[in-house]
A and B are shown apart, each in its own frame.
Chain A
Amino acid sequence: MRKVTILTIALALLFGLAFAGSTITVKGSDTLVRLGQRWAEEYMKKNPGTIIQVSGGGSGTGIAALINGGTDVCEASRDMKEQEYKIAESKGIKPFRVSVALDGIAVFLNEANPVNEFTVDQLKGIYTGAITNWKEVGGSDHIIILYGRENNSGTYAFFKEHILKEEDYAERTQTLPGTAAVVNAVAKDKFGIGYGGIAWATGVKDAAIKKTDSSMAVKPSVETVVNGTYPISRELYWFFNGTPTGEMKKLLNWALSDEGQKVAKDIDYVPLPKEMAEKNMIK
């Protein structure tokens, strides 16, 4: 009797799985994980047959999973490195990159700091260690305390590439796990400076950034990132193995649609400009 019951349950589960439609796994960037989850929820509401599992772990983790065949979609806040492309190729994976949203990186200052703006060059000087004192950028006579992210985060890599122009961070940069920790540290440190995603600044102030000495200082916001006036912005990517087809293509096109991009905007991500989103859709 017991055996029959177990058998029935097993069969039911098996059929259940077979009829449940497709399961899509999404894995990667911690910057994108919140957006990925919201997209999955909304999409599953509209397509009850599809199951989407979203997890974080970081861009590197997601890319490694894509290479090992451990995920269908990899979320990343940076492009794949040359080395990663090489390893993928050797394993027969063809990474297909699509940008799904934008993100700006804000520079955080303590609210008591008299400094309000930097040029991109000044920022580079500060983080490479060429500028060590606040008075060199118009502040009080005190050493600058640098806070940053751990060296494998997408944010670290992006800031290094776009602001430091691939030079090394000053060795006294204190690296903290997560943007929240950086914000917290700067909020407690009068002479601190940090960086992280926009829409994180609570208890600290965002610095306005000037592209060059003569250009206007721009504060980070959804508008200034979309219209391209804020100098430190980046694309957030989804990677697939080859051009997505079937359910994955449907999911991607939905995420890039007005509806999907509105979800992004609602939870403080920066949506893609409309023509860019349409260009990225798979025909």
Chain B
Amino acid sequence: MVQYKFKPKSRIREFLGEKLIALNALAAVIGILLIFIFIFKEALPIFTSSEVRQEAGIGKMLFKQEFYKGREPKWSWQPNSDVPKYSLYPLFLGTLKAAIVAMLFAVPLGVGAAIYSSEFAPRRAREIIKPVIELLAGIPSVVLGFFALIVLATILQNTLGLTYRLNALNAGIALGITVIPVIYTVAEDAMTAVPRSLRDAAIALGANPWQVSISMVLPAALPGIAAGVILGFGRAIGETMIVLMASGNAAIVSGSFVDSIRTFSATIAAEMAEVVFGSPHYNVLFFIGTLLFIFTFMINLGGDFVLMRLREKIQGRTK
């Protein structure tokens, strides 16, 4: 007689098991939601409390302020001052500068490596390159930050003759190292996913390998590469330890990439530990946290959306 492993009797157990697993999946969603609610709740007094608003209202954070009578209005981040100054612009500029340098460094390298390993590399080389690049993602950011602080900063200063050892360029390059594997992985997957039939068609029409990859595979995989770049950008904005250690943490408004910078994430990390609980400064740090959360969430969402469209497009063609 055939012995069934699942008897009808176990239906209740099956039901419970299924729900339990569903709960596990939901836990992450609920967790994110709760975290967001908590962070936003701590930032809320900026909008609701008149006392906090007087010191750190939205307008004061966004626009130039005349902090001392008669002096020129300016942006300034000096939260521990007799006239506390909470301009977010210098921090935003710093965050953006670090991310831009990171992208300029990581996009060519990441995409180039992806093209090589998916199109041109012999199988043997590909089997080595892929895991090694992905291993980069496993380096703890403290280690990279320390490396940038001690070694990279000195090399950059000596070769380029920079005034400031710790600056946007230094932090950005170290950030770029963490971004490369993000871009590489997504871009490589996208190019490998381009269907065989498309390649065959191109070869049948007389294209050489270079033409196949540049004129056919690359455009087809472009949304995937874009998604990798977007996700990498999100990583660069949120990364904390590297910028905290390697950027100099000076909130300056300047267009130069070799000046020191202070980023959103590093500001939270540096100031949260000792801020007076419940003070306007505390609320502002949580507001910055909310902003960072929203930025990275939107960026990741955008990246995922582009990836989804790519999958539809490629699969749609093969059908």
Within 8 A of A (CB), among B29-85: 76-82, 85
- A166-B82, A169-B78, A185-B165 as given contacts; A84 in contact with B248, CB under 8 Å: no
The CA of A166 and the CA of B84, in the complex, are separated in Å by: 12
Q: How far is the CB of A174 from chain B (nearest CB, A)?
A: 4
Query: What CA separation (Å) do A72 and B279 show in the bound complex?
Result: 23
* With A168-B78, A174-B260: A152-B275 Cβ-Cβ less than 8 Å: yes
Residues of B within 8 Å of A61, CB to CB, are 273-274
Q: Is the CB of A168 within 8 A of B81?
A: yes
CB contacts (< 8 Å) of B259 on chain A: these are 172
In the assembled complex, A150 has its CB within 8 A of some CB on chain B: yes
Alpha-carbon gap, A58 to B272, bound state (A)? 11
Interface digits, A73-112 against B, CB 8 Å rule (1 contact, 0 not)?
0000000010110010000000000000000000000000
Hey, what's the 0/1 contact readout for A186-198 against B, CB within 8 Å counting as 1? 0011000000000
Instruction: Report the minimal beta-carbon distance from B31 to chain A, rounded to whole angstroms.
Output: 26
A116 adjacent to chain B (CB < 8 Å): no
The answer to whether the Cβ of A263 comes within 8 Å of any Cβ in the partner chain is no
Cβ–Cβ contact A143 & B273, under 8 A: no
| Distance to closest chain A CB from B88 (angstroms) | 14
Q: How many residues on chain A are close to B (CB under 8 Å)? A: 34
With a cutoff of 8 Å between Cβ atoms, the chain B residues found around residue A174 in the complex are 164, 166, 248-250, 260
- Tell me if B192 counts as interface (CB < 8 A to partner A): no
How many residues belonging to B are interface residues under a CB distance threshold of 8 Å?
33
Contacts of A152 in B (CB 8 A): 80, 270-271, 273-275
Q: Are A175 and B249 touching (Cβ within 8 A)?
A: yes
Are A60 and B80 in contact (CB-based, < 8 A)? no
How many angstroms from the CA of A145 to the CA of B251 in the assembled complex? Answer: 15
A120 interface hit (Cβ, 8 Å)? no
How close is A79's CB to chain B, nearest CB, in angstroms? 13
Does A171 sit within 8 A of B, measured CB to CB?
Answer: yes
Q: Is B15 an interface residue (CB 8 A)?
A: no
In the assembled complex, the Cα of A166 lies from the Cα of B83 at a distance in Å of: 10
State whether B250 touches A81 (Cβ < 8 A): no
CA distance A40 to B73 in the complex (A): 51
Q: Are B81 and A173 in contact (CB under 8 A)?
A: no
* A151 neighbours in B (Cβ, 8 Å): 78-80, 270-271
Give A185 to B247 CA distance when docked, in angstroms.
12
- Asked if B248 contacts A60 (CB within 8 A), the reply is no
Which residue of chain A is the closest to B153 with respect to CB atoms? A188
Whether the Cβ atoms of A59 and B274 lie closer than 8 Å is: yes
Known: A61-B274, A166-B82. A172 touches B279 (CB 8 A): no
B142 to chain A, nearest CB (A): 12
Contact string, B139-152, partner A, CB cutoff 8 A, digits 1/0?
Answer: 00000000000000
Interface bits A174-185 vs B (CB < 8 Å: 1, else 0): 111100000001
Q: Is A153's beta carbon under 8 Å from chain B?
A: yes
Does A188 lie within 8 Å of B165, measured CB to CB? yes
Shortest B276–chain A CB gap in Å is 6
Q: What are 12 A-B contacts with C-beta separation under 8 Å?
A: A58-B274, A68-B277, A81-B276, A84-B276, A87-B276, A151-B271, A152-B274, A153-B274, A171-B251, A174-B249, A174-B250, A189-B165
Closest 9 CB pairs of A and B: A60-B274, A152-B274, A174-B248, A58-B274, A175-B249, A151-B80, A150-B270, A174-B250, A168-B78
The chain B residues found within 8 Å of chain A, CB to CB, are 76-82, 85, 90, 153-154, 163-166, 244, 248-252, 259-260, 262, 270-271, 273-279
B-binding residues in A (CB < 8 A): 57-61, 64, 67-68, 81, 83-84, 87, 143, 145, 150-153, 156-157, 160, 166, 168-169, 171-177, 185, 188-189
Contacts A58-B273, A145-B164, A168-B81 known; list 17 others, CB within 8 Å.
A60-B273, A60-B275, A60-B276, A83-B276, A84-B276, A87-B277, A143-B163, A150-B249, A151-B78, A168-B78, A171-B76, A171-B90, A172-B250, A172-B260, A175-B249, A188-B153, A189-B165
